[in-house]
Structure 1
């Protein structure tokens, strides 16, 4: 039986007056998209509210059943680099959510149409991000400092004002412009960083928050990489068990672990072959696409490009590097991190994503603008945390830790399956999120796995 959550302000009644000095001028969205698009002027630096301003891009899909409208549901697809404005207009959401909420997406700073940070062309000739000595590590630092300097110069001041706390303040500015007293929020993956920040800073303005595949904003550099490394090995072990019991797996009847090691050796004869194989395997486990994973081991040409956010490599310099303390400054620090990573992930040789992000941030000057810390959501209502048990990108351990940090007002829904983002993977998880957002009722504690 679902337990009812007692949450104050469950509707849009009592909405605060619209701030007429900062309104959104709505117009039809381009490219025939169903919805309204506009911009809102906000301070570039929220610590200097009377200073320079920027326009954040906003999109809205109006509730299709206005007579039963609950209010506003802000959404974010994560990345960083994903356009929340486009996400809000997508068919991802259930008909009932679309009927009862105005679904609103705000392109976070540096993404979509909010002062996009586009610097991929500055990132040629990158050094090896797995250095074996001090000289190799120093080459990474020199490269990073050059790229950051050039990207900052090209992007302008938004580059130093794109952290998760700034995005949360933009969300609240949009709330005020819409005249809503409270909002609901649904974030995926890195979008959960924005949801966490909003619940901390504006908990009394929250009706409901659902966080699917959570990025633990309390993680230090060792957990940021190590937890993901362990999760990658766990995901591989799940794939190997599937091959053992599934006749259609091309590796069925073989020792999958021995075949994997042999494939890594074969890959050594190709340029970037081993790392390319490891990276491709990570994405196959993340999907999850276990047929692709087996094909990678059986036939190296099964490599294929991964689907990542459009400007992820650029915007992470201004977001991830400012939301986490990932500033390795010496080879000694790197060697300690790498040893722990390999200890926790002997099969996958570490975390592709975690390692890559840490090395992109190495050497960046100054402390992060929105440093990691223990979650403090005392003013927020009960928040729903959702995570796959075998997710290699946002480890299940992160979701458990988030719930432990705020046991009085968080509920954890476990999807017992694989891959990244539970809402798309399981009808049960989707129903649980919808029930919470619509009726403020907690779902069942867990949802069964659905075959990949």
Structure 2
């Protein structure tokens, strides 16, 4: 469903709120017609502009950059409640396109009462787009020994250095703490005292960090499929490995009861093991098969998962691409600076990988988190936006949404976020599979809409049936 996906010095700690840069004020946004998006099924329904912000918030009067902003005005302006900022996540997606693509996400009631606004965070869309040069075919992402690990590290170091050189200076100023400060600049440029926010997937981290920095500027906040910024590398890899296996078990149960499944009537687990064994001599194809099945858990698209496994067993593997935007490039500047994914050497890697296999023996870990950790091998120094526990004492009550079987943002992460801020978070659990909850059914939509429109949250944590 969703795709499933940042380096100034210490802009944010776990508890210290960021403040507006002294003496710096954004200019009001000049709204114009939005450019056509050739990949969109319909012309943009809204207006577009830019906000100029400091490249480095620690030097607010130094060089600056422009961020793209888009707005779909409230259709019932007489009863407008304000601005609803939305971030589609990734990292790498364009939130401006999200805001002005008509009728694809928010309910008519929400669109009637809010100006829906999106801004392309640094490195995405029309905001200093980050794109890495081609560095050739990488070594295996699952090195079998010290020599293969050294080769992978050398490749990654060059890939990161080349990408950084092409995308300076924004590459060094693109972590989520920086983006949260940009978001407040957008709020100020809009002339709003407070904003509402809905973030999906990686967009939930933007929401969390904004709530830490500017909790008193938040009217309402929905975090759909939460990133847990407190996760160290062990949980970053292990929790997603567990989630991938839980997702596969959901697929197997569906296949057992669904006659149209390509593996119906067979032992799904045995067929899966056979598919992995048949591709064991072809590491790339094996990873691609696991990656495709993991991608199918996002929807979920169980039909495709069954077909993929059947094709692999028949010797006809078919490759699909998970992301169509610049995720592979921007993760180097964002994910690698938001999380401490530093692996010290082959012994450290071996211990981490063994834990991945222990927690996710079916899927052999998550190709999403493993791929991110391997891409970050070449990043030097500590993360600019180091992981920490959520601290949002100034924020209002926030609605958390998460599927119980989410392969990208595990349910364990939503529980962790909820435990870190129990006084002002409410958790809605969708009792099914997939990544992204708001649009799942009438239960998830109505609870979210009611909160956004009235600020009414359930008295207790609730669940919605699959």
Which shows bigger deviation, 283-292 or 396-405? 283-292
CA contact (8 A) 1:403 1:411 kept: yes
Q: CA deviation at 1:307?
A: 4.0
Partner of 1:336: 351
1:76 and 2:81 aligned = no
Task: Pick the aligned partner of 2:119 from 79, 83, 106.
Answer: 106
CA contact (8 A) 1:386 1:412 kept: yes
Partner of 1:4: none
Which shows bigger deviation, 218-227 or 421-430? 421-430
CA contact (8 A) 1:122 1:151 kept: no
Task: Pick the aligned partner of 2:302 from 285, 290, 296.
Answer: 290
Q: 1:104 to 1:21 in 2, by over 3 A?
A: closer
Please give the alpha-carbon distance, in whole angstroms, between the structure 1 residues aligned to 2:206 and 2:244.
25
Partner of 1:361: 376
1:162 and 2:167 aligned = no
Partner of 2:6: none
Q: Which runs of 5+ in 2 are unaligned?
A: 1-23, 37-42
Please give the alpha-carbon distance, in whole angstroms, between the structure 2 residues aligned to 1:304 and 1:363.
27
Please give the alpha-carbon distance, in whole angstroms, between the structure 2 residues aligned to 1:304 and 1:276.
6
What's the C-alpha RMSD, in Å, of the aligned pairs? 1.5
Partner of 1:447: 464
Task: Pick the aligned partner of 1:249 from 261, 270, 275.
Answer: 261
Q: Secondary structure at the match of 2:250?
A: helix
**Can you list the C-alpha shifts for 1:363-392, whole angstroms capped at 9, x where unaligned?**
311111111100000000001110000011
**Can you list the C-alpha shifts for 1:314-346, whole angstroms capped at 9, x where unaligned?**
001000011000011211111111011000001
Q: CA deviation at 1:125?
A: 1.9
1:136 and 2:148 aligned = yes
Please give the alpha-carbon distance, in whole angstroms, between the structure 1 residues aligned to 2:291 and 2:177.
31
Please give the alpha-carbon distance, in whole angstroms, between the structure 2 residues aligned to 1:447 and 1:123.
46
Please give the alpha-carbon distance, in whole angstroms, between the structure 2 residues aligned to 1:203 and 1:383.
11
Q: 1:79 to 1:309 in 2, by over 3 A?
A: farther
Please give the alpha-carbon distance, in whole angstroms, between the structure 1 residues aligned to 2:358 and 2:283.
26
Q: 1:418 to 1:302 in 2, by over 3 A?
A: farther
Q: Secondary structure at the match of 1:122?
A: coil
Task: Pick the aligned partner of 2:191 from 148, 167, 179.
Answer: 179
Please give the alpha-carbon distance, in whole angstroms, between the structure 1 residues aligned to 2:283 and 2:339.
32
Q: CA deviation at 1:93?
A: 1.1
Q: Secondary structure at the match of 2:423?
A: coil
1:22 and 2:33 aligned = no
Which shows bigger deviation, 296-305 or 190-199? 296-305
CA contact (8 A) 2:160 2:378 kept: no
CA contact (8 A) 1:292 1:302 kept: no
CA contact (8 A) 1:388 1:415 kept: yes
Task: Pick the aligned partner of 1:150 from 133, 151, 162.
Answer: 162
Q: 1:269 to 1:366 in 2, by over 3 A?
A: closer
Q: CA deviation at 1:302?
A: 5.9
Q: Secondary structure at the match of 1:371?
A: coil
CA contact (8 A) 2:158 2:378 kept: no
Which residues of 2 match residues 3-22 of structure 1 at below 5 A? Answer: 22=27
Task: Pick the aligned partner of 2:224 from 196, 212, 215.
Answer: 212
Partner of 1:49: 60
Partner of 1:201: 213
Q: Which runs of 5+ in 1 are unaligned?
A: 1-18
Please give the alpha-carbon distance, in whole angstroms, between the structure 2 residues aligned to 1:147 and 1:268.
27
Q: CA deviation at 1:264?
A: 1.5
TM-score, normalised to structure 1, is 0.92
Which residues of 2 match residues 309-328 of structure 1 at below 5 A? Answer: 309-328=324-343
Q: CA deviation at 1:424?
A: 2.9
Q: Count the aligned residue pairs.
A: 430
**Can you list the C-alpha shifts for 1:10-44, whole angstroms capped at 9, x where unaligned?**
xxxxxxxxx97622111011124111101111000
Q: CA deviation at 1:430?
A: 1.8
Please give the alpha-carbon distance, in whole angstroms, between the structure 1 residues aligned to 2:271 and 2:300.
19
Q: Secondary structure at the match of 2:297?
A: helix
Q: CA deviation at 1:427?
A: 2.8
Q: CA deviation at 1:426?
A: 2.5
CA contact (8 A) 1:387 1:414 kept: yes
Q: CA deviation at 1:425?
A: 2.5
Q: 1:296 to 1:21 in 2, by over 3 A?
A: closer
Q: 1:158 to 1:231 in 2, by over 3 A?
A: same
**Can you list the C-alpha shifts for 1:132-177, whole angstroms capped at 9, x where unaligned?**
1122111122112111111111111100100001100011001111
CA contact (8 A) 1:75 1:185 kept: yes
Please give the alpha-carbon distance, in whole angstroms, between the structure 2 residues aligned to 1:355 and 1:20.
41
Please give the alpha-carbon distance, in whole angstroms, between the structure 1 residues aligned to 2:278 and 2:153.
31
TM-score, normalised to structure 2, is 0.90
Please give the alpha-carbon distance, in whole angstroms, between the structure 2 residues aligned to 1:178 and 1:351.
40
